[in-house]
């Protein structure tokens, strides 16, 4: 091979490399766009969108509801125990 053939081969390889790099750059750009959309969906799910509550608010509300239910259950059980012992005391004293 003479020098011109070697230069032509190098130019051909460079052209092919440029095409591959352009294609890869497009794919990376598409992937970045896809990840941005996915990130936005996750953020809307977690933190809400346009006034709708997100998951963190819903979880907080569930925790508050659970605490209220626990307090109500304990209060009701305490009232039942007090009524039972009150009735038992009335029966013993009478």
pLDDT tens track for 44-71: 888 888 878 888 888 989 999 999 999 9
Same-domain status, 27 and 8: yes
Number of separate domains in the chain: 2
Could you give phi then psi for residue 48, rounded to 5 degrees?
90, 175
Q: How far is CA 91 from the centre of its chain?
A: 59
What is the reported pLDDT for 84? Answer: 94
Looking at the structure, do residues 74 and 39 belong to the same domain, yes or no? no
What's the pLDDT tens digit per position in 9-35? Answer: 999 999 999 999 999 999 999 999 999
Q: What is the pTM of this model?
A: 0.55
Q: Is the pLDDT of residue 1 over 80?
A: no
Residue 83 pLDDT more than 80?
Answer: yes
Same domain, residue pair 14 and 46: yes
Domain that holds residue 45: 1-52
């Amino acid at each position: 091979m003479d020098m011109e053939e070697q230069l032509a081969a190098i130019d051909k390889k460079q052209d092919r490399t440029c095409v591959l790099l352009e294609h890869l750059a497009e794919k990376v750009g598409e992937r970045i766009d896809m990840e941005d959309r996915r990130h936005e969906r996750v953020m809307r799910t977690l933190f809400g969108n346009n006034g709708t509550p997100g998951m963190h608010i819903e979880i907080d509300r569930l925790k508050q509801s659970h605490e209220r239910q626990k307090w109500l259950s304990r209060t009701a059980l305490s009232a039942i125990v007090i009524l039972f012992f009150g009735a038992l005391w009335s029966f013993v004293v009478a």
